[in-house]
Structure formats: structure tokens, C-alpha cells
Amino acid sequence: MMSHAERSALREALLVVVLSGAGWLGFMNSEQVACADDERDAVRAMSKLHVAQGLELQLFAAEPLVRQPVTMTVDRRGRVWVIQYLQYPEPAGLKKITGDRYDRIRYDRVPEPPPHGPRGADRVTILEDTDQDGQADKARDFVSGLNLASGLALGHGGVWVLQSPYLLFYPDHDQDDRPDGDPEVRLVGFGLDDAHSVANSLQWGPDGWLYGAHGSTVNANVRGIRFQQGIWRYHPRDDRFELFSEGGGNTYGLDFDRVGNAIAGTNWGIPGLHQMQGAYHVKIFGKHGALHNPHAFGYFPHMPHHGAAIGKLSVGGVFYQATRWPQRFHGKYLTANPLNHALYSIELRPHGSTFSTHFHERVMWSEDTWFQPVDLVLDVDGSLLVADWYDGNINYQMTYRNRENFDSQRGRIYRITAQRGSKESHALRGADNTQLVDKLRDVNITRVRQTLEHLSEHADPLAAGELKRRFASSADETEALHLLWALNHCVCLVEDRELVRRGLTHRAAAVRAWTVRLLGDQGRVSAAVLAQCVDLARTDPSMLVRTQLACSAKRLPGTDCLAIVKELVRADDAHADPYLPMLLWWAVESKAVTHGSLLQDWLRNPEVWQVQIVRDVIVPRLARRYAALGGENGFGYCAQLLSLAPTAAGVDRIIEGMEQQLQGLKQRQWPAALEQQIARLWEASDHPVPLVVFSLRMGNNAAFQEALNRIVQPDVPLSDRQSLVQAVGASRNPAALNSLTSLLAPGEAEVLQTAALSAIAMYTGESPGRVILDRYVSMNLALREKARQMLYRRASWSLALLRDIDGGKLAAVGVPNQELPLLLQHNIPEIRDLVEKHWGKFRLQTPESKRQRMLELGKIVQSGAGDPLQGKRLFDKTCGKCHRLHGFGGMVGPDLTPYPRHELVYLLLHTVDPNAVIRPAYQTVIVVTADANVLTGRIVEQSEKTITVLDAKNNRSVIARNSIEKLQDGPQSLMPEKQFAEMNPAEVRDLFAFLQSRPSEPLHNDLAPLQGKRIGFAVSVTEWQLTDNGSQTQPRHMPTGGNPGGWLQLQDVQAGRMAVVFPKTWIGDLSGFLGGVISFDARTVDAQAGAPHKDFGLIEITGAGRTVSADAAGPGQVVPGSEWRRYQLRLSHETFRVQPRQWAEILSDVQRVLIRVEGFSNASEVMGLDNVSLTPSTSR
């Protein structure tokens, strides 16, 4: 039998490549290959670890005391409790029945809770340092035999353990570190489908609820609430369960900042996500389906990040709320990335009602790739505990497929401190009420939380009296918050009028916000309290208070909810906040059906329609919500909305909302009330595009004829023509085919030709395919790619394409090898024969040929240095069509930036053999519809009635579920094999040089503020980006004809609103340039006979949650001529038409700067940009 050391060495050599063959060992260093047990011991691993300046590192525990630590907590005696996740990756005692493309497993039964269910290998262990030397010398299991236990918390007289599908409570009232009996099952229904996505990260909230995270791939159904990823909470005393917020990726890690904001970990390559009460957050919708509420109609993204990237994972994050570490870390968010083998410090800065994240410092890192930090805990002495999984592999897919890829024999817990000294316990037993309340002033949040838990457990009325007395006189925000939280544990807040009054009128915004939240948690408030909340909604300047009012309004009865919403929408700055508008919509949506008449009454006031949030956010979504309801009731509400709309803009918003909901669907019958309203609108002489589109959907022949006329008129705005083309195609009216065909003329804009191709492809029969083929030779290369994708969808069109090739009308070389499977998927003998005739027998590479190709490429890459700048150009032509890297490229495949691209073997495996490991979210599907349309791509969005498929060329198709005859997994990744067949060795080295490049990871944030110097183009053209310009996202560097560093050539490919986005060095605090000047030179290279744009040189600056703009061209200086012309703009609040305070806030937190350089309307012009500079004010 192979020894553990031998097995470990072999596993490490084969871990990532998943292939056999000694040839691979040449790509690994000797340390990786010759791995013995003693080379992985804790002392040697410790020597490879580094911590930031001013910090000290101690090894607290290692194997055999602890193995595979996954989550930790600390008790009041300073002991460390840890779950050893030894059963991972499969539960004991269960039999797999089926699995799906996302590695979700269905087992033969739901296991019984312990101790009656299958006995696993997991355990909850208590580690203690009895001699105060900094290392654990005593380990004791509180409970063993657990089966995939993933969450741990202490409180309420016992120990809380997450073991999916259960939340368990082990009573230990005598505190002898032994359960008093079998655990109590408090909750059941957490998902067990996927061991790396189970419920996790138990954490006591400031409000006395027990919070937890839930991973992305597992399905939960707890007390009738179905969900996947998100944050949930449970109230032990009231036995209440809630989904606190939904979405966020494969969440692991949860903590609360100084004022109680919940920040969760993520696997999206960003430090974290701000989880707000009742909100909906981003998720991979194609993989995990729609949100729990299908009518959310929007979601919050991750917090925008600035500075050095920290990689794909952010786990186990905590706020450093103590004083033992140096001052620069106080209040910072500390998070770990096991893939980078490092810990980071992140600064959160206000960004409206949420935050932006900014790289601060690398805290801990190692050259040892087995260092896998997975959880962080702030100890009672102000040090940080770090759980190290310590394994060469943390990839669930590889572990699950082969248990030998997983080493369960090791594990470490480190302590990062800054001062040596004895560690004090946090004794609470025996403390009187005054002493307990005093402990709420502690600077260490762990001690404060333990005090809150103690008060919650005992709920002493005498303690409440002392808390009220202190709260009445406390002006300090932090102290007042702690007192309010403690009072919530001891008294019923809604029943104490004086306490409520003090809370709602407190000078500290966080106290007012938390008072609102604690009141809203009860789901009811008195008339007097409601009046106070309405007054806050009308007058409170704090966005923190107003967003909480929106969150809490959703929980209140309909009349109370709307009373608050009516006031919140009216604030001048409400629409610019990143969170408030959608929070208000979600509050309205929660009452849309149950209180529809109340909402209609509100909207009878024409002035309400002038409020931007109402007009642009609430009204279109309300119409969409009623369209989703459908029938006489739902469409009847839509008709009423149309009758109430006082302006044409309001009508457009309503129709746009209905149209968005019905996209991809066929509505056969319409209620008379809606037909009458649409007919009334049609009687007007002016027919806006939304009205034409919706009337066409309803079968209005006049609308169809008007749409046909307008799509061929060049003076109609391009975006309007696109919308009408899509609507005409969706009608599938044969009378439209000639008009659509005319749009494929070479003189038409590419975006319009693309829309026409998609519209024609909706038709059945032979003629549409013939139309596309007859015009194929006149198309440019990009259009030909899209045309082929359309032709591949139908067997008869694919055959026609091959027959044209066989007859010499088209060249076989125009069809790349990677597209041949799309032809062969129709399984027609003639297609197969023609493919073999012109391309030979199509065979996928064998495993042996792939291995040989990887060896060849590995030798090429290692034979010399490549040029990453040349590699960037190759990337744009190949990988970049689907993948993003360093912010550039397509979105069909995953963003490559956060992956371990520095590992050559990893890159070779995934480029030469893209089917070796397909990330579940990027699994291809083949969809066959009832009219024999065949689409291949990946599902990027799905709802109850539709799915959205994105193909390899970025074509998006919305398909009604009731039209699908067959939906199955595709046999291959969208990423083609033989990617490097046409590249010479130098090009291969160049491409890999760019693929393996990474922005420097500074020890400190070295994005220094600008010093009034010009940003030179010679540094890297990749620092500049084009937006609103279709697939052309990169300007071209021209070395001569401008300043010595060259100039940027901007090619307009979309005839839209092209803009150039400034480099990341322009992001951050630019307050030093208040009153300064932005200037740039521009010229027209080729006008393409277009009409000059009226607002060339519009500068947009986004910061502090809002976007402002000003025209640099000025009156009489519209578009530059062929010679360079200087444009400049003063950075003042007068120039950008905002208040001085708002302008200062914007400049102190700049998120983006861009110039609208669209020079000519309806033309694919070429512009030049040079000498972009930012200079400070000379008067400062």
C-alpha cells in the first residue's frame, strides 16, 4: 500500500493537470515534485509565511491537534472552538442517486440529525493555551461524529452547529464542555447538494439574531422559504426564520462593521458584498435561476473595487475592530484568498448608501502554495486568528471527482498579533449590571458581542434600567449603538414610547437607522411611531436612515409602507443613490398586487409622475409586475396606469415595462381595457417607438406597416430602427422579409445589419437562409461570423451553406474548424459527407494528442520571453472575443483575471483541453425549439417562462419555455480546441506572456494621486478603454503624428455615443485638483460624411454615487477639424452645475472619468486624442 508521503507527492505532481505521464513533471519545480511529510510540517511552513510591518505571527495550533479547520469562534475564556471538516467532500451514509451539470447531487434520503443519523468524521474541538505561551497545548472534542458540519456559534446556554440540512443547538447549561443531551433541531431544510456551497458562517448579529450564509449551488427550503445563495437569520428566543437578503455568489464569511452593516465574502474576484436587509443581489442567473422573488426586476452588484485586485475568492472576512494592531488597520476589512495564499486589508469608503472597496495592504502571505487561509476570527485580546486549510488543492470539482486529490491530514491555526503579552479572558459571570453595561464600551468588538450575547441570554429587567439611563445621555455614536442593541435584547422596543422617541431623534444617524430597523423587524408600528417615521422620511439628511426606512417599509402593512415611500421618493438626491431607488421599488412591489388600488390612488396626482424615481424606476417596473400577473386583473392594472400617465414619457415607461416582461412570449388574448387604452394612444398623430412595438405585438396591422416604413428610413435614429427591426422579426410576418433583407446592404450600419440578421433568423422555411447566403459575400468578417451562427441554427440552412461551398460559391476556409460541430449537430448524412469532403474527418483531439500538444507548447513558452503588449493584440483577436483579462475582452466566458494564470500547467490544461474541467456556469446547452430552430450556447438568464441563451459570438436569444422541444447539455465547451494551430512560436510566447501577466500586488496602495502631469500613452495603451462602441473597446496607439509619446486613434464602429474612459490612475481622491483644469487635444481623422455632433467633448465624472457632465467644446467649437485643437474644462462646481458640497464629495471619491468623443452622427468616424492632462488650480 502507498504511504501517505508517497501518495501526497504523487497527488501534488498530478493535482492540477489531471493527466498521467512523467513528462509533466518538467513543468514543476523540485519542491513540488519531491514532497515528503516532513517538508510540509508546521515549522517549515511557518518559515515561508510573511506578515505586514508591525505585525507578529505565531503558530497557535497544527496537526494532530487540528486538521482541516473550516470555521472558528472564541469563547469568553479566550479558548478557540473550531470545526474540523474531515468528512468533506461527501456526506457519510448517503447514496448518490443523480447529479447535474452544476455538481449538485441528489441523495437517496435526508439524513437523520445526530446522533441518530450517519456518523461522519467532522468534529467540534476546543483548543486551549493553558500555559500562556501562545500555542494550544490542550484539545478537547465538544462533539464528534458530525457529517459535513460547516457553521459554529456559542450562545444562549449552548453551542450552535450547522450541519445541513439542520441548524442544531447543543445545550450546555452547566458549561462543562459536554452536550447536556441530544441536539435540538431548530431549523431543517438547508441544501446538501454540494459540499462546497452548504450553509456556513454563523455569526451573532447586533440585533440578537443568529445570521448565516448560504452557498450558491445548493437548494434550501426552510419553513417554506426556498432560496439558494444569500444571508439568512434565525431568532432563538422567538423561533423566527427569515431570508435576510438574497444573492451574492458562493458566499463564505460574514461580519458586521462598526455600525452594523453586513459585509459578506464572495467568489466574484471582489473583496465583498454589502448585504442589505430585504435586498436582492447579483448571482449567476444562468446557473442558479432567477431570484427568489421573480418580480425583483433588478439587483445590487458587488461593492466597486479600486486599487490592486485580490483575486477570485474573498472568504472569512472580519472588520478589525480592536486596538492591538497598528492604527492603520483599525476599522479595515480583513479578508483571505486561499487561491492567492494571502490575507488582505481593505478600506471601505462611503459610496452613497453603500461602499466602495479600496486595496489597503497585504497582511499575510506565503510562497507555500499549500497555505490556504479560509476563516478569520478577531480574538478577545485583539489578535487575529487565521484558519489554514493547508492542502495543495482547494478545487472542489477535482476533490469531488477523485478523493486522492484531497489531503485531510493537515491543518493550522495562526495568530497575528502586534504586541506580546498575556491573554486575558472575558469574564461575565458574576458581573453586576453596572459592570456589564460598562463592558459595552470595550474597544474590542468581540468582547462587546459577547456582552450582548450574555444580556440576550439573561434579559435582566434591572440591566434594562441601567441601559436606558446611559442611552438617554449618550451622545457618542458607537456607545449609543451598543446601548441600543443591548436594550433590544432586554426590552420590547415597540412598547417603550420614550425609548423609541429618543432613538428616532438621536443625533447619530446610525442610531436613528437602527431604531427604524428594530421597529420594522416587528412588522408593525403604532400610529404615533409611523408619523415619526414619515417625518424622518421627509426630513432626515442621512442616506443611511433613508435606506433603512425603505427596507423597513417593505415589512410594514401596505398603508404604512406607502406613507413612508411617498416621502422618500421626493428627496432631490434620492435618484442618484446606488441603492435607494431599487429599495423603494422593492417596497412598492411587495404591495403591488395586494394594494393595487392604493398605488393607483397615489399615481392619480400628476406631480408624482414628475419625480424621477417614480417615473424612471417605479412606474416601468410596476407595469412589468402587472404584465407578469397577466389576465384581466394584471393587464387591467396596466390599462389604469396608461390612463393615469399625464405625459408621453410616462406612457413610454409603462409600455416599455410591459414589453420587457413579455419579451420572447406570445400573448394571444388581451383584455378589452388594455386594447382600448392602446387604441386611444394610437389615435394620436405621433407614435413613439414603444407604442409601435407594443401595438405590433397586439396584432395592429397599421403598426406593422409603420414599423416597416421606419426601419428603412435613414433619418430615423439608429436605436429606434434597431428596436423596430427586432419587433418586426418577432412578428414573423412574411411581408416583412423584403424590408429586412434590404437592411443587409453594405451601406447600412453594422449594428442594424446585425439586428436584421437576427430578425431574419426568426423565420422558418428555405428562403430566409437563402437571403442570408446571397448577401454573405458582401458582409465584413464580423457580420459573416454572425451570419454563420444564424445559418447553423437550422439543418436546411446549414446544408445550403455547405452546398454553396461545394459548388464553389463560397470558400471552405471561411468556416473555422471550431464551428464544424455546429454543422454536425444536426446529424444529417449529407452534412457529414460535405464536412468530411472539405475539412476531412472531424475528430476531437485524443487525450494522448492533447498531452503531447501541452508538452510542445510548454517547451515553447519556456524557451524564451514573450512580449505582453504583442500578446494583448493576439488576445484581442482570439481569447478576448469571449474572455476578459485586466478589464478588457468579451463576457461569453469567465473573466480570466482572478484565476491562477501564473501556473503554466493550469493555463496549458485549460487552453489545450478546454473540456477537461468546464466550470458549471459555462456548460453549453443545445436547445431545439418546436419550429426546428437549434441554438447552442450557455444559459445566462432564466425565469419561470423563458430562458436566455448566449452563443459563442455574443448573440443573445430569449426562448419561451413552452416552445422548447429538447434542452440538453452540449458535449463540448464553447471554447474551441486547437487555439494555437495558426500561431508561430513567437506568437505563442507573446500570448502566454500576456495571459500570465498580472498587475503588481503592492504591499501598500501605491496608486499615488496625479501631480499635474500628463498621462503618457507610451506607458500602455491598455490603460485606456472605449465604451458605448460595440465590440471595439480598445483605442489604437499611433506612435507618430502627435506628442513624442504618440496619440490615441478612436475608431467608431457603432455610430453611437462613443466615449474614451480614462486610466485607473484617475480614480480615487482628486480633491487636490479642485478648481484645476482638464484639457485634451483632438482632431478628426475621417468624418465618414457624418453630421457634426452637438456635444463633442462632453466630460463625465462619476463619484460619490452620482454622475455629472459638462461640455468642453463650448459654443461655436463643436467638432475638431483635421488639425489638432485644444479643449479644456475647469473643475469647478459651477462648470458641472452642482452644489459646492456635492462637488467636493464627487472629487474626493472619483469612480470614473470619460470624454464623449462621438464626433459625427450616424457615421463610423475616426477621431484622434492626445495630450490629456489634469492640472491643479494655480490659486491653491
> Concatenated DSSP letters for 87-153?
STTS-TT--EEEE-TT--EEESSPPPPTTTS---SEEEEEEE-TTSSSS--EEEEEEEEESSEEEEE
CATH 2.30.30.100 intervals, the chain: 878-995
Query: What's the confidence (pLDDT) of residue 1129?
Result: 85
SS3 780: coil
User: Is the previous residue joined to 1035 through a cis bond, with omega within 30 degrees of 0?
Assistant: no
Q: CB of 832 within 8 A of CB of 820?
A: no
How far apart, in whole angstroms, are the C-alpha atoms of residue 682 and residue 676? 10
Task: Identify which has the larger pLDDT, 264 or 900.
Answer: 264
The DSSP symbol for 41 reads S
The topology (CATH level 3) of 1021-1175 is Jelly Rolls (2.60.120)
- Mean pLDDT on 695-716: 93
Taking alpha carbons only, the member of 1161, 1164, 1163 closest to residue 1093 is: 1161
Tell whether the model's pLDDT for residue 1002 goes beyond 50.
no
Provide the percentage of residues in the chain whose pLDDT is more than 90. Answer: 51
Rg (CA), the chain: 31
Other C-beta atoms lying within 10 Å of the C-beta of residue 492: 9
Residue listed under C-alpha cell 500613452: 1017
Query: What's the confidence (pLDDT) of residue 862?
Result: 80
SS3 851: helix
SS3 262: strand
Adjacent-strand bridge partners of 140 = 126
List the grid coordinates of 143. 462533539
CATH 2.120.10.30 intervals, the chain: 43-417
Strands 354-366 and 305-306: parallel
The DSSP symbol for 26 reads G
How far apart, in whole angstroms, are the C-alpha atoms of residue 406 and residue 394? 8
Instruction: Give every CB contact of residue 540 below 8 A, 6+ residues apart in sequence.
Output: 509, 512, 546, 549
List the grid coordinates of 430. 458574576
Per-residue b or e along 886-920, where b marks 16 or more CB atoms closer than 10 Å to that residue's CB = bebbbebbbbbbbbbbebbbebbbbbbbbeebbeb
How far apart, in whole angstroms, are the C-alpha atoms of residue 135 and residue 125? 15
pTM for this one? Answer: 0.77
Provide the terminal-to-terminal Cα distance of the chain, rounded to the nearest Å: 77
Instruction: Give every CB contact of residue 771 below 8 A, 6+ residues apart in sequence.
Output: 737, 741, 744, 760
Other C-beta atoms lying within 10 Å of the C-beta of residue 563: 17
How far apart, in whole angstroms, are the C-alpha atoms of residue 619 and residue 621? 5
Q: CB of 1000 within 8 A of CB of 308?
A: yes
- Write out the H or E segment, with its range, that includes residue 1111: strand 1106-1111
pLDDT averaged over every residue in the chain: 84
Other C-beta atoms lying within 10 Å of the C-beta of residue 753: 23
How do residues 804-856 score in pLDDT, each as one tens digit? 999 999 998 888 877 888 888 888 999 999 998 888 876 655 667 767 777 78
Tell whether the model's pLDDT for residue 425 goes beyond 80.
no
- Which has the minimum average pLDDT: 144-148, 349-353, 758-762, 1172-1176? 1172-1176
- Mean pLDDT on 970-975: 62
Query: What's the confidence (pLDDT) of residue 909?
Result: 66
Taking alpha carbons only, the member of 1073, 1080, 1108 closest to residue 1096 is: 1080
Instruction: Give every CB contact of residue 251 below 8 A, 6+ residues apart in sequence.
Output: 200, 201, 213, 214, 215, 216, 229, 230, 231, 264, 265, 266, 273
How far apart, in whole angstroms, are the C-alpha atoms of residue 1024 and residue 887? 10
SS3 1070: coil
Other C-beta atoms lying within 10 Å of the C-beta of residue 244: 20
- Mean pLDDT on 869-893: 74
Domain range 43-417, CATH class: mainly beta
How do residues 190-204 score in pLDDT, each as one tens digit? 988 888 889 999 999
Tell whether the model's pLDDT for residue 714 goes beyond 80.
yes
Provide the percentage of residues in the chain whose pLDDT is more than 70. Answer: 83
45-50 contacts at long range (C-beta below 8 A, 24 or more positions apart): 45/366, 45/368, 45/370, 45/371, 45/390, 45/412, 48/366, 48/367, 48/368, 48/371, 49/364, 49/365, 49/366, 49/368, 49/371, 49/414, 50/364, 50/365, 50/366
Domain range 878-995, CATH class: mainly beta
Q: CB of 11 within 8 A of CB of 392?
A: yes
Adjacent-strand bridge partners of 417 = 56
Q: CB of 996 within 8 A of CB of 904?
A: yes
Residue listed under C-alpha cell 491530514: 409
Tell whether the model's pLDDT for residue 696 goes beyond 60.
yes
How many Cα atoms sit within 13 Å of 463 on the Cβ side?
A: 27
CATH 2.60.120.430 intervals, the chain: 1021-1175
Query: What's the confidence (pLDDT) of residue 30?
Result: 34
Taking alpha carbons only, the member of 170, 171, 125 closest to residue 144 is: 125
Q: Does residue 892 come out as left (phi exceeding 0), alpha (psi in the -120 to 50 range) or beta? A: alpha
- Which has the minimum average pLDDT: 96-105, 208-217, 610-619? 96-105
Per-residue b or e along 771-792, where b marks 16 or more CB atoms closer than 10 Å to that residue's CB = bbbebbeebeebbbbbbbbbbb
Task: Identify which has the larger pLDDT, 1025 or 348.
Answer: 348
Rounded to 10 degrees, the C-alpha dihedral 908/910/915/919 comes to 160
What DSSP string runs through 379-448?
A: -TTS-EEEEE---S---HHHHHH-GGG---S--EEEEEESS--PPPP---TT--HHHHHHGGG-S-HHHH
How far apart, in whole angstroms, are the C-alpha atoms of residue 85 and residue 66? 10
How do residues 727-775 score in pLDDT, each as one tens digit? 999 999 999 999 999 999 988 888 899 999 999 999 989 999 999 999 9
Task: Give Cα separations from 286 to 283, 729, 883, 948 (angstroms).
Answer: 9, 25, 17, 8
pLDDT band at 976 (very low <50, low <70, confident <90, very high): low
What DSSP string runs through 924-989?
A: -EEEEETT--EEEEEEEEE-SSEEEEE-TT--EEEEEGGGEEEEEE-SS-SS-S-TTTT--HHHHH
